[in-house]
Amino acid sequence: MDPLVPEEPGQPAIALCKSCGILPVEGQHPNPLCESCRQKFIRFPIPVWVRGFGIGVLVLVLVGLISFPKQLLIGIHMKRAENAMDKKKYLTAERELQKVLASAPEMKSAKLDLLTASYYTMDLTTLVKMVNELKGVSFEKDAHFSEAENLSTEALKFFPSDSLFALMQQKTDSAKTREFLKSYVVQHPEESYAVCTYVNSYSEKESPEWCDSMIDKLLQTDPNNINALIAAIYLAREQHRYDSALTYCQQLLNQNAECTYAMAAQARIFMAQNQITKGIDLSKKACSLDSTDGYSQATLALGYHLNNQPAERDKLIASKAADSTISSYMDFVKDVVNHKVKFN
């Protein structure tokens, strides 16, 4: 019951403020308060700790709103990378993972996936970087980790051993280098880098049977040896064993569905079989996947030459002249054009 001022004879009772109990109630409101108390409650003096807590929550919300687009993009790129890896599209996966690590450089799972992707794309710079960055980092030892760990060991086949590296550092003429390298290969037939380097560099000066036997031994031990498969493609194509060469190409594509080398090698085989348009289409596909791949670009230029499209050929060669990593591959095409070598 509202407090009332004591009645005087002949006067109605006056309701007092329910809060202060001193001043009379102003106006008609559900809560009987004086004007002063009403204004005080409208302003509502919030305690300091409540204000601090509210400000903290607001800051967290703002930080979340600001970082959400970034986290969303990281999640999108990571999902795309995972989908690409499931389909063995390692070139796409590598690019997506590079975007993830550009925003989240400490993300361990992305580094682990990038190690795997760069192995299959033979991006040795990225591969070595990931191996070094992951040294000493703890992981749950699951199938995902085991694959990356195994590939980091397999990657040693992409590099010369210390003894071979010392040999290669010696300054000598090419004839002696060839002699030394062959002697090394004979003594170390299991060393993938040495065998493949010799075959790719000197097979035309060596008996094809001997080179074939060296590569076959490597592939019997390791059917997925990428370097050995590349050398096997080269040997088979040079000997016009096109079916064998295409089989080796497919073995590379089974490991990496976006292996541009295998696509370009297939294209050259089709061109050698006079299926030039088919070869051009396939080399265009390889170039669209990786415009920086010199072998694919040179294959496309070769296709234009064989298809009597000199304008397209010369335009492509000229556009890559400033890029030494691609122009060196174009030297072969120029030699074909100038009849210095014969394409087969």
116-137 in b/e form (b: 16+ CB < 10 A) is bbbbbbbbeebbbebbebbeee
Does the domain at 162-337 match CATH 2.30.30.60? Answer given as no
Q: How many CA within 13 A on the CB side of residue 190? A: 1
Res 1: pLDDT: 43
Domain ranges in the chain are 66-158, 162-337
Residue 232 pLDDT greater than 50, yes or no: yes
Q: Map residue 26 onto helix, strand or coil.
A: coil
Q: Which residues, 6 or more positions from 25, have their beta carbon under 8 angstroms from its beta carbon?
A: 2, 15, 16, 17, 18, 32, 33, 34
**Which of the four pLDDT bands, split at 50, 70 and 90, describes residue 16?**
confident
**Which of the four pLDDT bands, split at 50, 70 and 90, describes residue 45?**
low
Residue 44 pLDDT greater than 60, yes or no: no
The class of domain 66-158 in CATH terms is mainly alpha
Between 40 and 294, name the one with better pLDDT: 294
Res 244: pLDDT: 97
- Same CATH topology for 66-158 and 162-337: the answer is yes
Helices (H), 188-339: 192-202, 208-221, 226-238, 242-255, 260-272, 276-289, 294-306, 310-319, 324-337
pLDDT in tens, 124-182: 999 999 999 998 887 777 777 888 889 999 999 999 998 888 877 776 677 788 888 88
Smallest CA-to-CA distance from 103 within 59, 145, 69 is with 69
The residue-averaged pLDDT of 244-255 equals: 98
Residue 272 corresponds to which tokens in the numbers above?
């050698």
**Residue type, position 173, single letter:** D
**Which of the four pLDDT bands, split at 50, 70 and 90, describes residue 225?**
very high
Res 58: pLDDT: 65
**Which of the four pLDDT bands, split at 50, 70 and 90, describes residue 4?**
very low
Q: Note if the pTM is more than 0.75.
A: yes
Hunting for tokens 């490597």 — which residue is that?
A: 218
Name the average pLDDT for the chain. 86
What is the distance between the alpha carbons of residues 251 and 257, in angstroms, rounded to a whole number? 10
